[in-house]
Each structure stands twice: as structure tokens, then as C-alpha cells.
Structure 1
Amino acid sequence: MGLPMKDRTFVSTQLGGWPFLDDRHAPQRLLTAVACVRLTRRDGPSPAPPLEALAAVLAPAEALRIRALDLPQPPPTGRLCPTRHRAVHDALRLIAELVPAWSTLLNTLPVTYLPLPAAHAGSSASCFAWPQHILLADRAFTSSAILAEQVLHELCHQWLYLCEELVPVQRPGSLPRFTLPSGTAGRSPAEVLGAAHVTCALARLWPRLAVPAPVRDRRLARLDAYQRGCRALLTDTRPYLTTHGHALADRLLERSA
């Protein structure tokens, strides 16, 4: 999948494009760059950090601790039972079989999976303040297709958060909030980009899932409607995006057209 010729940003030139959007994306290069940024934030500049130090800051617990230096929030808690951990592993394997180009994205990022509290309205959750932590509700385990969708959904967010550690996609300061096509309100410009990013990935996964045709058709129709809503929102977010945010928005519009 080619990149827009006008896009000469760091993500396109050094990382091969955006995760889950561009099959030329280089996940290992992104992880190395993020590890260097985290080490610098934690310990100060280092001319040649050892490999073990780079690996250490990519552990979910340490990633959470480093993020709390700038963005403290109570960390998520809880534990998935072994059966559900196996189900997540099976979901990752299924997605990799269906979209082999995503295999490295699915298997190289250390992620801690936790239960999502029952009071939460969604099926899954993650946030920038909790790097490499994904929360899954009971309803996410209803079927293999639903779990694959929710796992992919949150991994899209996690990899985009990694990009944002290097290159913010929205301008700093107080920014307006937007309502997503789902009706979820209070979302930042970066979160609008994130929602559109997830939808592009799901629209690639769902035609390949082994589900009854009516189920697939209904889900793809809803994803198409959501994509149309996101395209309109991306126009509204333009004044508040950085150069990288504009590049991502352009790529999302290209993929969802």
C-alpha cells in the first residue's frame, strides 16, 4: 500500500507509514524510537543506551510508571483469568492468520490485558495515560469474532499512542471537543483520528472473519456509516492538528474513500 507523495513526515519517511494502515510500516523501528524517548524522559539524555535498558522501558508496568511522570492517573487494576488470557491469545493468532501483514504489530508489543469493570458501558477500553494496557469487558468474550474486533480495536489505539509519543497529532493547549458518530461525546481531535484509524482497520478485518453472511454484512454496513461520519469530523478537526495530524487525516481519508 503506497503512501501519499506529498507526505514527507517522520512517520512516512522513517517508519514506513502508520500502523495498521500501511503494510510498509516498521514496528520495530517505532518501538526502538519510543524506547529512546522514554529513557530520556526517565533518566535524561544517554548517547548509547544498552539494549536491555530499551527493552525494560517497553514493559507495560514501566511504561505506565514513565507516563505517570507527566500524566498521573490511577492505574487500572484486576486480572483476567487464564481462560480469558488464552482467548486473547487465540484472537491475536486469528487476526494474524487473516491479515498476515499485521503479524508483527500483533506479536511484538508487550501488552497487559485486564478486566473492564462491569459498570463501564463499552466492550473494551484503553487510554493514552495507560500505555500498553487494554481492558476487556465480559461482553468482549461473547464470540471469537467480537473478541478479535475488540482486541484489534484497542491495539490500534496502543500503536497510535506510540506514534504520539514521538510526534503529537494535535496542537497543544485547550482544544474543542467532538462527538463521535457513535454518540460518544467529549473527544479530542486526536481521539477523532484514533476512532477513524480503528474503523479503517476493522473494515479490513471483518470481510475475512468466518461469520454468517448477514452478520458480516450488518457489521460492514455499520462500519461504513461510521467511516462516513468520521470523514466529516476529520474536516472539523483540521484547525487543531499538527503536521503529523494532517498527514494521518489525509491517509485515513484516502483509505476510507
Structure 2
Amino acid sequence: MTAQQSPHGLMRDIGGLPFASPGFRATPLLTLAASARRKADPIAFPQLVDYLDPVNAAEIFARHARDTPEEIPWTPLSPEQEAEVAATMERIVKAMPEWKPLFSIPTRFRRMEGEYVSSTSALIPQTVFLGDVAFTPAYPLEETLVHEYAHIWMNFIAEIADLQMESALENYTLPSGTGGKSLRGVLLAAHFAAAAVTFYLRSGIGGPRAEERMRYLLDYLDGCNKSTADDAHLTVMGQAVNGELASWAKSLRCEADEKFPIS
């Protein structure tokens, strides 16, 4: 982000938040994220695009990030899991063609050990960890991938300018009841919920429980937004993101009520 460019100006330049609307423009955000990485380590790689490689980015984060990422035990995905991820991403993009640029970025996939569904870390850029349970019918892989890619894209924004002040405590509780979260984490949770609701509303993909899940995520989104509304620890960028999320949530609620009227 240039010195002359405000966070609200950035939102105009990129067309809003990732996954929010067909007007979102991925290239300006990717360019700014790559530039932020190059600023941290100017001579690490010869080309700007090299900074978007997840292996290269992880090296930069390892050398320059203020925090050390929590270790996540992992092994490679099985060939069957790799094929299922690829096929699921194809279904998502076919159903939501405007999201193709969002799923076309360099990304690493890893099999996460333990009874976990999925995870990403801001300190391990563009890396999606998937547990074996993510490949079971209990967890639609479409939603899981939308969830984790939403985090990746919001983390690009946070790389340009953080969403919370350094004085913010990790004492927030998500609508699911998970406590000890950062303010930034609540914004990321709201963003994934909004992206997943958008997917369920507009993709045409979903089983019998899709509407129920969408309604849950709408309430989850509203709960996140209530937690962050007018929070004094939001940075200017955080305020811009928070405002976009609130507007998006209102629009999604109206769309859901029109498409699935509650009798």
C-alpha cells in the first residue's frame, strides 16, 4: 500500500473484499502483498511474482515475522486426497466462475495429523492443512476449501496493513464458543462465514443440510460482526474491513430471506 493510498482507497481499488462480489479484483491485492514481502526482504528473489510462491514466502516469514508459527504435524496428501481436492476446486470454480482467480494462486496442501478438519496460518502463507475428516461426508469439502482460501486472501490484506492494534488482547470469543481469539481472528472468522454463505446461496451446490448450514453461518457472521463493531482496537484497515463485512452480512441476510423465506 502506497503512502498516499488509504485502506478505504484500497477497498475501492480491489473492488471490495475477496469472495464478496464479482467486482473484486485479485491482481492489485496480489501485487501489493508481493510488494510487502519484497519490502521485507528486497534481494531474496529476482522477480516480484517469486514472492507469491508459498515456499519463498515461508522463507521470508521465517526470517522476518515477529512471531514463530505453531508447529502443525503434517504429511503429504495421499494421491486420492489430492485428486479429491482438485476435483472439488473444479466444482467450486464451475459453479462460481468469478472465483476462479481466487483459487488459481500458488497453494500448498498438507495432510494434517489428528482429528482436525482443516487449518491455515498467517505465518505459513498460502498453505492449507487438511485432516482426514475433511474428506468424510460429515464435512463438505467445498465449504472447507472456501473457508481456508478465504483466510488466505484476508491474510494478504493483513500483510499490507494489520487489522488490529498491537494493544489488542486475545480475549475474544467466537460465536461457536471458541475463546482466546484475537480481534484479527474474529475478522477472519467473519470473512470465511460470509464467503461460505455466499457459496451456499449462489453455487447451487449443496445437499439437504445446505440451507440449515447457511442459516447457521449467517448467525455466526452476525455474531462475529457484533463482537467487532466499533472496537477501539481496530486499525484503520481493520475498520475498513469491518465495514465491508457488515455491509456484506446485511446483503447476504436479505438475499437469504428472499431465496429461502422463513414460514
TM class by shorter-chain length? Answer: 0.7 to 0.9
**Aligned match for 2:247, one of 226, 230, 254:** 254
1:42 alignment partner in structure 2 = 41
1:84 alignment partner in structure 2 = 81
Deviating beyond 6 angstroms after TM superposition, the runs of 4 or more aligned structure 1 residues are: none
Q: Deviations over 1:151-203 (max 9, x none)?
A: 11000000110111112111123524201011111111111111111111111
Q: Structure 1 residues 174, 143: closer, same or farther in 2, change over 3 A?
A: same
Q: How many residues align?
A: 241
**Aligned match for 1:230, one of 224, 239, 250:** 224
Distance 1:8 1:55 in 2: 23
Letter in 2 for 1:183: G
The answer on whether the counterparts of 1:11 and 1:18 sit within 8 Å (CA) in structure 2 is: no
2:13 alignment partner in structure 1 = 14
1:239 alignment partner in structure 2 = 232
**Aligned match for 1:102, one of 99, 104, 119:** 99
Correspondence list, 1:1-257, <5 A = 9-43=8-42, 53-69=47-63, 70=65, 71-73=67-69, 76=72, 77-107=74-104, 109-120=105-116, 123-143=117-137, 146-207=140-201, 208-212=203-207, 214-235=208-229, 238-257=231-250
Letter in 2 for 1:30: L
Letter in 2 for 1:202: A
**Alpha-carbon distance, 1:253 to partner:** 1.0
Distance 1:185 1:253 in 2: 22
Q: TM-score, normalised by structure 1?
A: 0.86
**Alpha-carbon distance, 1:115 to partner:** 0.9
1:3 alignment partner in structure 2 = none
SS in 2 for 1:239: coil
SS in 2 for 1:21: coil
**Alpha-carbon distance, 1:22 to partner:** 3.4
The answer on whether the counterparts of 2:110 and 2:130 sit within 8 Å (CA) in structure 1 is: yes
The answer on whether the counterparts of 1:79 and 1:114 sit within 8 Å (CA) in structure 2 is: yes
**Alpha-carbon distance, 1:16 to partner:** 2.2
SS in 1 for 2:121: coil
Distance 1:175 1:22 in 2: 32
Letter in 1 for 2:141: L
Of all paired residues, the percent bearing the same amino acid is: 27
Deviates more, 1:247-256 or 1:16-25: 16-25
**Alpha-carbon distance, 1:255 to partner:** 1.2
Give the superposed CA RMSD: 2.2
Q: Deviations over 1:120-176 (max 9, x none)?
A: 4xx110111111111011111124971111011000000110111112111123524
Distance 1:74 1:228 in 2: 29
Distance 1:255 1:85 in 2: 32
Q: TM-score, normalised by structure 2?
A: 0.84
Structure 2 segments unaligned to the other structure (5+ residues): 1-5, 251-263
Deviates more, 1:173-182 or 1:69-78: 69-78
**Alpha-carbon distance, 1:74 to partner:** 5.7
Structure 1 segments unaligned to the other structure (5+ residues): 1-6
Distance 1:174 1:202 in 2: 27
Distance 1:130 1:144 in 2: 27
**Alpha-carbon distance, 1:8 to partner:** 6.6
SS in 2 for 1:11: helix
